[in-house]
Structures are given as C-alpha cells and as structure tokens.
Structure 1
Amino acid sequence: MEFLSSRLIIRPVDRQRSLAFYRDTLGLAVFREFPGGTVFFTGNGHLEVSGRGHGPPSPDLAIWLQVRDLAAAVAELREKGVPIVREPRLEPWGLRESWLADPDGIRIVLVEVPPEHPMRLDSRKP
C-alpha cells in the first residue's frame, strides 16, 4: 500500500470561529477552500476545518505543530490574547513543548526540537 498525502480533519462547533483562529490567530496559510471547508498548510501536512461538530473533542486528540522558537511563538500568542494551557517546558523525551487549545478545546501542542535532539541528528554514516 502506498500513501501519497494526508491531512487531519476536524469538525468544529462554529466553523467561522475556528477558521478565524487557525487563519488569523495562528497564521496558518490556506491551501485550498471548497464549499463548507478550508484546508490549511501545517508545515509538511494539512489541517482541514469543515462540516460541523456536535460536542466536545476527545481529550485524546491533539494537534502537533512544530515551531522554530517556542518562547517567541508563545509570546506572540499571548500578545494575541490566546490562553496558554501549559507553559513551555523540556519534556523527558527531549522536546520543548507548550500547550494551547483551539476554540472548541482541541489541544494544540507547540513543539520546538532542540539542536541536540536525535530528530535533528544526521544518522547517515560518514
């Protein structure tokens, strides 16, 4: 089986409110729009906001977004009035993370990969 592309699809309770959050507050660029939905770029992935949700999101769901500078990203979000659910910290697995939530309560994990983390190391043999 070969997979060519992927995206995360969320069904917000209030689509316009969520569109404003992802587009204007987080600053995600629009990949495409269609009747009833918008797809955003999320680095090398996509986030589709479409349809209508009918309840709170599962606490098991999280959107993982990598940023270059976590402290700067959190400061920018604070300036925009976004509540930070969990302050930046270094996790046991070596990533710096901070949490916030979208208008429906979906957890968004902002991640900075430190220079010394294995995800940044070149594993090719010299």
Structure 2
Amino acid sequence: MNRVKTLFVSYRVTDLDRSLGFYTALGYAELGRVEIGDGARLVILKFPDEPAASLELVRRPGDGPVEVGSGFDHLAIQVETLATTLKTLTEAGLGPEPVQYPGGPHGPKTSWLTDPDGYRIELVQWPPGHPHGITAADFA
C-alpha cells in the first residue's frame, strides 16, 4: 500500500494581503508565492517548527468574495501555552475568544478565533502528558 499523508489545508481568501497579515500574526511564516494567472496567486505558509508547508492561501479575483459555510467547519492548531498565545493574539488585535475546557478541568484548553474571511480556528493546549495530536487513546 502507498504511504499517504495530509500535505496542507488550502483556503480561498478575499484579500490575500489582509489574510496573510492575520496568519503571520498567528505565527505562520511565508514559504513562497506563486502567480497562477488571471490575477490569481497563492501563498504557502508553515509554522516555524514545522518541517513543511501546512497552509495555503489562494486569491482568485474572478471567483468573487469568499462565502464561508459550504461544508468546511474549522482548522485546529496546537499551541504550547494557550495563555501566552491569547495574549500575543490580543495584542495583535485578532480578538480570540475566552478559554474553554471542552473535556472538563483536566482535559484540553481551547479558544476560538475567526479569520478575515470568517474561517474558524480552534487553538488547543493539551494537558500535561498528553501526546501531540489526537490519537485512538482519546476515544478509549
């Protein structure tokens, strides 16, 4: 069987510069840009500690403004310390929502953020000792 893995998520955005400002304030770094014709372009991003791209922002002027709600739900991003992340995001004017405890007081801490096009982002801090990411053990 071939080995497969997710490469990245791609968002179509209304204003590439505005969205790029939002995602770089969130901590992403730009890897590169591609002009794809007819005024369309894309930017590939990653977090500094990631080995490869994890997000692509695409602007296609001919497609008009983005209308969120066609089935996409949200992007989840793991953070080391949620309180520090929220402070940084608040200082950058990004307006994160209050901390939630969806798994109870000993589970993960989360907060939500909305990008300029209305895409929802869930920030997650795992409790001490939890493996990075969601695994089958989370459903045992």
- TM-score normalised according to structure 1 size: 0.80
Distance 1:101 1:92 in 2: 22
Task: Show the counterpart of 2:75.
Answer: 63
Q: Do 2:22 and 2:94's aligned partners in 1 also have CA atoms closer than 8 Å? A: no
Shift of 1:19: 1.1
Task: Show the counterpart of 1:90.
Answer: 101
The letter of the residue matching 1:28 is: Y
Task: Show the counterpart of 2:93.
Answer: 81
Shift of 1:113: 0.8
Task: Show the counterpart of 1:110.
Answer: 123
The letter of the residue matching 1:109 is: E
Whether 1:46 and 2:59 are equivalent positions in the alignment is no
Task: Show the counterpart of 2:38.
Answer: none
Q: Secondary structure at the match of 2:17?
A: helix
Task: Show the counterpart of 1:26.
Answer: 26
Shift of 1:48: 0.1
Q: Secondary structure at the match of 2:98?
A: strand
- Give the CA RMSD over aligned residues: 2.3
**Which residues of structure 1 form unaligned runs of 5+?**
none
Q: By percentage of residues, which structure has more strand?
A: 1
Shift of 1:15: 1.2
**Which residues of structure 2 form unaligned runs of 5+?**
36-40
Distance 2:73 2:16 in 1: 18
- TM-score normalised according to structure 2 size: 0.73
Deviates more, 1:103-112 or 1:4-13: 4-13
Q: Do 2:68 and 2:118's aligned partners in 1 also have CA atoms closer than 8 Å? A: yes
| Corresponding pairs, count | 118
Q: Secondary structure at the match of 2:87?
A: helix
Identity of aligned residues (%): 30
